[in-house]
Amino acid sequence: MPITSWKVGAGGTARATASMLDPRLIADLRAARRVVVFTGAGMSAESGIPTFRDRLTGLWAQVDPMEVATARAFRANPQRTWDWHVQLAEAVRAAAPNAGHAAIAALEQAGPEVTVITQNVDALHHRAGSREVVELHGNLLRLTSFVDEEAAFAAASPTICRVCDGYAVWEHCDPYAERGDLAAIELRAGPVPRCPGCGALLRPDVVWFGEPLAVDAIEAAWNAVDRCEVLIAVGASLEVEPAASLPWRALARGARVVEVNPVPTALAAQCHAVISGAAAEVLPALFAAIWPER
């Protein structure tokens, strides 16, 4: 498998990018009708989002992740976990999509059907205008009820709350509460809010350590990968399964795979091209090189 590898610095241009790509690969990418862009923490780093798994900087340097980002931590101390996520939410609200997010959103206008599969919980792809986004690890700014498996198991006959879809094991249900009442509650400083319907504590709708991915999200990701002709992996560490195997799944099905990452991963030895650089610089140049008529 031919491998193209180069670095794009701050001065990277579409012309330079095109000259470095194998012409046959450019032709394959240009002919693609379905493209998957798979993004990880590196995608959001230039927007100033503290990365979830980077223990050296940002919010993760101040805490042990096991004390704020697990179901066990929330059960033991809901307020501490909530307060920590409020800090992260403030960072997300203060951030803006970068040129890489914008380039991905604009790619839809170039013709191919684009599905974004992201490990990020910051919703920056949505804010940039991407329409088809699979959020593997959830969305920080969306809330859901905390389903305490132990309490649900202990309850005599748990029912499903029609507002939050969680197990309603609380007694003070509000029969008039609606889903809109839940959607109106935000991840803000203050006491941990409760579901307006069943009274269950609310939590950010993200995948904490030790929790499984949502089945519908991983199935949507697999479907998109199985249908794509091109997969571009951007800033993903590829350490966490099952997300990490998505590029290999695409390769096994014959798709062209390109990695964009300041620090290439194990994928680099297998994929069709590797571009060492930051997403905000590389993606606009790469897309302009592949789809210049856009």
Nearer to Zn ion, 29 or 163 (CB): 163
CA distance 269 to 14: 24
Quick one: which of 36, 37, 103, 164 contacts Zn ion (CB under 5 A)? 164
CA distance 59 to 215: 29
Q: Which residues contact residue 179 at a Cβ distance below 8 angstroms, ignoring those fewer than 6 apart?
A: 163
CA distance 72 to 70: 5
Tell which positions 169-228 bind Zn ion, by CB under 5 A: 195, 197-198
Nearer to Zn ion, 44 or 144 (CB): 144
Quick one: which of 88, 104, 163, 290 contacts Zn ion (CB under 5 A)? 163
- Can 125 be counted among the known catalytic residues? no
Nearer to Zn ion, 35 or 187 (CB): 187
Question: How many angstroms separate the Cα of 126 from the Cα of each of 120, 129, 132, 266?
Answer: 11, 5, 9, 29
CA distance 291 to 46: 24
Q: Which residues contact residue 246 at a Cβ distance below 8 angstroms, ignoring those fewer than 6 apart?
A: 36, 38, 117, 221, 222, 225, 231, 233
Q: Quote the distance between the C-alpha of residue 258 and its chain's center.
A: 18
CA distance 87 to 94: 11
Shortest spacing between CB 170 and Zn ion, in angstroms: 8
Shortest spacing between CB 199 and Zn ion, in angstroms: 7
- Residue 102 CB coordination number (10 Å): 17
Shortest spacing between CB 141 and Zn ion, in angstroms: 19
Instruction: Map residues 135-154 to x or -, x wherever contact with Zn ion holds by CB under 5 A.
Output: ----------x---------
Nearer to Zn ion, 44 or 145 (CB): 145
- The active-site residue out of 85, 101, 125, 137 is 137
By rule CB under 5 A, what count of residues binds Zn ion? 7
Nearer to Zn ion, 131 or 179 (CB): 179
Considering only the stretches 132-140, 162-170, 253-261, 286-294, report the one whose residues sit in contact with Zn ion under the rule CB under 5 A: 162-170
Q: Is 161 in the site for Zn ion (CB under 5 A)?
A: yes
CB contact at 8 A, 126 and 175: no
Shortest spacing between CB 159 and Zn ion, in angstroms: 10
Residues serving a catalytic function are: 137
Q: Which residues bind Zn ion (CB under 5 A)?
A: 145, 161, 163-164, 195, 197-198
